[in-house]
Structure 1
Amino acid sequence: MSVAEDSSMLVIILDVNPVWWGQRRLRGEASLSHCLDSALVFANCYLASSRRRHLAFLACGQRDSRFLYPTRSTSGLEQDAVQESRDGRLELLSTLDDTVVREAVAMLARVEVTADMTTGSLTAGALAKALCYINRMRKQDQVHGGEMKGRIVLLAACEEAQYMNLMNVAFTAEKQDVCVDVCALGSESSLLQQVSGLTGGLYLRVPEQESLLQYLQWVFLSEPDVRRRLLLPRPSRSDARPACFCHRQLLDIAYVCSVCLSIFCTFSPICSTCETAFHLALPPSLRGRKRKKGGSLKTA
């Protein structure tokens, strides 16, 4: 008697920040279109490997994040479609490729490039949308008596600036048993290393973006429950130090607000996050001093 295969859900998130990719293009490095093509081939391999696998594709930028697939026009397409398109591809894979490219072009066309644009992206918002979508698909699968496994693969280009939002998303993914894999396209990110470590995922910085597809298929195509049997790159040492909310610097010793748990590198009598005023007692060396009329301090 054969055991029924559990369904799985993969959400791919691609950072399409035009400022970051434009700077890379000026230096003659890999373009956004090359990265998108590699991600689509990776998505096709994932869907073609099993009829019980489902996929969603998100893009995040500096000001927004949105679903590229599925859309309203493709939401009714069955995941087990086997019809072939004109070029010989399966209808599902052909629809996935065409829809993602069309929606990505439309998203970038609406971006207004201004002088104040930075290379930061709304990674935390995209992760939150992915978790909500996985939770909704799980509930639909439970109606039919199934159990769906969820996983997220983040193709991160820019460093996430919203530390609190990113940590909240990481703890939520850990609670929902959703693995978050991080494929860093830019510099090393200690925050994203913490996210992948908390959720039991893999973190890998791609040294050469021209070989992105090989890294995606070799490292991130396998499910978390079979990775222990594979020879994968050793995880890099994660820096678990918190980052301050004021300068985004990693700290060994910090000041923490007792109300909202915000972290700061220097003491402030008023929390800049929740605006709580702290009434602290004076140190013992200053308690006995009294101010004279001239303004000087005198020990009692």
Structure 2
Amino acid sequence: MATNPPTLLLLILDLSPSTWGHRSIIRTAKDKALAAKKKSSAGPAVIDDVIESSLAFIAAFCALNRDNVVVVIGATESEVGVVYPRKGGDGSMNDVVNSRGSERVDRGLMNDYVRLGVAELVKRAAERREQTEKQREQSGEKIIPVEEGVAIASALSLALCIINRFMVASHAGVSALSDATTTYQRRDDEGVLALMGGDTGSGSNAQEPPQRGLLTPRTLIIQSSPDRTSDYNALMNCAFAAHKQNVVIDGCFIPSDRKEDPTSSPYLEQIVHQTSGNTGNGIYLSVPKGPAQVNGALSEVLLSVFLPPIHLRKEMNLPKLNQVDFRARCFETGECIDIGKVCNQCLSIFKERPRERCWTCGAKVRLKANGGSAKRMKVDT
């Protein structure tokens, strides 16, 4: 029997074509200059580096315990999706969940499917962005820049839904709300199939309490794009839900070398902080710029910081969130503000009152007198 309890890992990858496209241009220019001096690359990381490091991390994670389960979710500006396991055929969700031991997943097949899923998601996102810009040009409308950032909130919501699916199955189909525990159990003769609510052929014993295994959920978010201000409320709701169910969230931010780009993610810091209390040990790390992101160094960072099991983290010298920026930020500009306007429909915060509609929920803004000449922001429902 393994000494480490099995873990369900939801790995969320930032696959924004815009973000990685810009970094690829920077990397190519820098590599040419360094090659002329016979020096190796000094970063920043490109999407291939992240995929290679993520696959190395997944392989090490699965080696910790034969019952560990991995689901990889990709996120772009406009779409999120499960890139592994794939639907249907070899390497599908049923194959990953139902198999056991060394036969659980073919590593070569997993690597190929992760790369294929990433390529498909990135291609769809790039084509959608190109089509949107083309339609705006043909219609004669003023081209409005696509909002920066990636749909991390949607990806985290999807991850929590998948975790909840495991939870419901572990309760023999009963709603997960009937029990707040986040340890999912199974018997020796059932495999992980029981977690998905499959028929194990156990007969009358199917409803008996499981005797083996604790499947503990955790999520690792690898982000490179700037925070999307309009997703703040959704992210915080996901963080509160994860904290309530003791789902640990880890965050890894990979900054670029451009001065105008952020060096950290305040939103990611905050949601990790929500699971850094007595019920969990969420870890946040902003990877250093330069050589720490290339030539295998990123793999070392992921393995040394985020691989250790949750129950061992308190015994290790891992990065800690000593200072978290909790200042309010304008949902339109992302600026830190001391005084702002709040939409009473969706509670979004703005530095200046929106002119016509709430930038987040689209509710129409109107002014209502409040004690004489004083006015406050109102929205029509």
- Structure-1 residue corresponding to 2:283: 202
CA contact (8 A) 1:13 1:126 kept: yes
- Structure-1 residue corresponding to 2:351: 265
Structure richer in helix, relative to its length:
2
Q: Deviations over 1:182-241 (max 9, x none)?
A: 100122111111111012211101113112111100110012222110011232521011
Aligned amino acid, residue 103 of structure 1: G
Percent identity (aligned): 27
Distance 1:279-1:52 versus aligned 2 partners, 3 A rule: farther
CA contact (8 A) 1:59 1:126 kept: yes
- Aligned to 1:148, the other structure's residue is in SS state strand
Distance 1:147-1:91 versus aligned 2 partners, 3 A rule: closer
Once the two structures are TM-superposed, the CA of residue 140 in structure 1 deviates from its matched residue by: 2.3
Aligned partners of 2:167 and 2:4: how far apart in 1?
Answer: 15
- Structure-2 residue corresponding to 1:101: 115
Distance 1:68-1:3 versus aligned 2 partners, 3 A rule: closer
Aligned partners of 1:21 and 1:268: how far apart in 2?
Answer: 32
Aligned amino acid, residue 272 of structure 2: S
- Structure-2 residue corresponding to 1:297: none
Aligned partners of 1:108 and 1:97: how far apart in 2?
Answer: 17
Matches within 5 A, 1:1-300: 6-28=5-27, 29-73=44-88, 74-77=92-95, 78-83=98-103, 91-110=105-124, 111-112=126-127, 113-114=129-130, 116-117=145-146, 119-143=148-172, 144=186, 145=210, 147-161=214-228, 162-186=231-255, 187-200=263-276, 201-207=282-288, 208-210=292-294, 211-267=297-353, 272=358, 273=361, 274-275=363-364, 277=366, 278-282=368-372
Larger CA Rg, structure 1 vs 2: 1
Once the two structures are TM-superposed, the CA of residue 264 in structure 1 deviates from its matched residue by: 2.2
Aligned partners of 2:307 and 2:77: how far apart in 1?
Answer: 28
- Aligned to 1:250, the other structure's residue is in SS state coil
CA contact (8 A) 1:128 1:169 kept: yes
Distance 1:3-1:182 versus aligned 2 partners, 3 A rule: closer
Aligned partners of 1:164 and 1:203: how far apart in 2?
Answer: 20
Provide TM-score, normalisation by structure 2.
Answer: 0.66
CA contact (8 A) 1:19 1:118 kept: no
Distance 1:252-1:218 versus aligned 2 partners, 3 A rule: same
CA contact (8 A) 1:5 1:52 kept: no
CA contact (8 A) 2:5 2:65 kept: no
Aligned partners of 1:75 and 1:253: how far apart in 2?
Answer: 48
Aligned partners of 1:118 and 1:253: how far apart in 2?
Answer: 24
Structure 1 unaligned regions, length at least 5 = 84-89, 285-300
Aligned partners of 1:189 and 1:276: how far apart in 2?
Answer: 30
CA contact (8 A) 1:54 1:79 kept: no
Provide TM-score, normalisation by structure 1.
Answer: 0.83
Q: Deviations over 1:18-57 (max 9, x none)?
A: 1111111111132211110110110011011102211100
Once the two structures are TM-superposed, the CA of residue 259 in structure 1 deviates from its matched residue by: 4.7
Aligned partners of 2:86 and 2:364: how far apart in 1?
Answer: 41
Aligned amino acid, residue 227 of structure 2: E
Aligned amino acid, residue 18 of structure 2: V
Aligned partners of 1:71 and 1:127: how far apart in 2?
Answer: 19
CA contact (8 A) 2:273 2:321 kept: no
Q: Deviations over 1:104-144 (max 9, x none)?
A: 12222333153645542111101100110011112223444
CA contact (8 A) 1:65 1:125 kept: yes
Distance 1:281-1:267 versus aligned 2 partners, 3 A rule: farther
- Aligned to 1:243, the other structure's residue is in SS state coil
Structure 2 unaligned regions, length at least 5 = 28-43, 134-144, 173-185, 187-209, 256-262, 277-281, 375-381
Distance 1:157-1:4 versus aligned 2 partners, 3 A rule: closer
Q: Deviations over 1:56-85 (max 9, x none)?
A: 0011111101101112232222342424xx
